[in-house]
Amino acid sequence: MSTPSIVINVNGIEVIYNHVILVLKGVSLQVADGQIAAILGGNGAGKTTTLRSISNLLKAERGEVTKGSVELRGERIDILSTSDLVKRGVVQVMEGRHCFAHLTIEENLLTGAYTRSGKAEIAASLEKVYNYFPRLKTRRTSQAAYTSGGEQQMCAIGRALMANPSVLLLDEPSMGLAPQIVEEVFEIVKDLNQKERVTFLIAEQNTNMALRYADYGYIMESGRIVMDGKADDLRNNEDVKEFYLGMGGTERKSFKDVKSYKRRKRWLA
């Protein structure tokens, strides 16, 4: 098998917020064309920050890439604006939903197609999204602010799909979703990946899910990538099992039985 071309290449980036808070300390990762890559890691590890630096959404948060570079298909994209990136097919679904509160669900979805033209195609995409998330269809005329947390999450994902992306950056897509919807979302990911060759980079806490669907995984901690490998390999790694999948030995440990003096794993990096 020939090595697939690299779509996203993050090259040793360092990110500082507010001129003082150093968050990423040299992160490098590659996503190959047609791959589903996952970034895993605890709270505050820097997953969101990594995604933001790819999609160039850092500036609004007063963050800055101070070292390293990000490339999209070999082209440096530091100088491109987010909207340029969307035009090139790179779309991010932001953590925490960020729906347009005053717009209806349908209007939210339609703004997702802002960079596209062609009424018919847009209508087709809309239909596709409604197929993926029937719940959205029933709430289409409701203002996004008045929909439930899960509905907003669907809306945010659906909105990104409306741009007809070739690379999707998903930031915690499963957060707040009911289990069967989580499943559905990942099925959609798989679907898009297989049928439309969409490349995915997913930041997830739900390690179990993410590793089931991803091809490749990166584990982040405190602003560094501490481990990476094929999803299957990671899934079978003992440490990952214990600390990310919650399995002691082979059985899943009950949440009831977690000990107060639990051993904590800290990676040596």
Partner 1 sequence: MGFFLETIIAGLMNGVLYSLVALGFVLIFKASGVFNFAQGAMVLFAALAMARFAEWLPEWLGFESLLLANVLAFAIAAFLMLIFAWAVERFVLRHLVNQEGVVLLMATLGITFFIDGFGQTIFGSDIYAIDLGLPAEPIFILEGLFPGGLLINQDDLVTALMAMAMVALLTLFFQKTGTGRALRAVADDHQAAQSVGIPLGRMWVIVWFMAGLTALVAGMIWGEKMGVQFALTFVALKALPVIILGGLTSVPGAIVAGLIIGVSEQLAEVYIGPMVGGGIQIWFAYVLAMVVLLFRPQGLFGEKIIDRV
Partner 2 sequence: MSKKKIGDVILDVNNISLRFGGVKALSDISFDVREHEIRAIIGPNGAGKSSMLNCINGVYKPQEGSITFRGQTFKHMNSRQVAELGVARTFQNLALFKGMSVIDNLMTGRNLRIKSNLLLQALRWGPAEREESEHREKVERIIDFLEIQAHRKTPVGQLPYGLQKRVDLGRALAMEPQVLLLDEPMAGMNVEEKQDMCRFVLDVNDEFGTTIVLIEHDMSVVMDISDRVVVLDYGKKIGDGVPDEVRANPDVISAYLGTSH
Partner 3 sequence: MFYRENGQFKTTYKSDQQIFAVKQDRIAIIAIIAFAFIGVPMLADEYLFRAILVPFLILALAAIGVNILVGYCGQISLGSGAFMAVGAYMAYNVFMRVEDMPLIVALLSGGFFAMLAGIIFGIPSLRVKGLYLAVATLAAQFFFDWLFVRVRWFTLDSPAGTAEVSNLSVFGWQIATPMDKYLFVLGFVVVFALLAKNLVRGPIGREWMAIRDMDVAASVIGIRPMYAKLTAFAVSSFIIGVAGALWAFVHLGSWEPLSFDINRSFQLLFIVIIGGLGSIMGCFFGAAFIVITPIVLNQLLPWIGSLFGVEISTAMVGHAEFMIFGALIVWFLIKEPHGLAKYWSMARHKLRLWPFPH
Ligand X SMILES: Nc1ncnc2c1ncn2[C@@H]1O[C@H](COP(=O)(O)OP(=O)(O)OP(=O)(O)O)[C@@H](O)[C@H]1O
Which range in 2-10, 120-128, 230-238, 257-265 contacts partner 2 by CB under 8 A? 257-265
The Cα 36–Cα 49 span in angstroms is: 19
Chain mean position to CA 220: 14
Q: Does residue 63 contact residue 49 with C-beta atoms inside 8 Å?
A: yes
Kindly tell me which of 89 and 223 has the beta carbon lying closer to partner 3: 223
The piece of 6-14, 29-37, 56-64, 210-218 that touches partner 1 (CB under 8 A) is: 56-64
Is residue 149 a contact point for Mg ion (CB under 5 A)?
A: yes
- How many helices and strands in the chain, by DSSP H and E? 10, 12
| Among positions 111, 115, 142, 166, the unique one binding partner 2 when judged by CB under 8 A | 142
- Dist. CA 32–CA 199, nearest whole Å: 8
Q: Is 53 in the site for partner 2 (CB under 8 A)?
A: no
Phi-psi region of 26 (alpha: psi -120 to 50; beta: other; left: phi over 0): left
State residue 148 phi and psi, 5-degree precision.
Answer: -75, 165
Radius of gyration in angstroms for the set of CA atoms belonging to the chain, rounded to a whole number:
19
Size of the site for partner 1 (CB under 8 A): 35
Site for partner 3 in 2-21 (CB under 8 A): 16, 18-21
Q: Work out what residue 22 binds among partner 2, ligand X, partner 3, none; the CB cut-off runs from 5 to 8 Å by kind.
A: partner 3
Residues contributing to the site for partner 1 (CB under 8 A): 55, 57, 59-61, 81-83, 85-87, 91-94, 98-103, 107-108, 110-112, 114-115, 143, 145-146, 159-160, 162-163
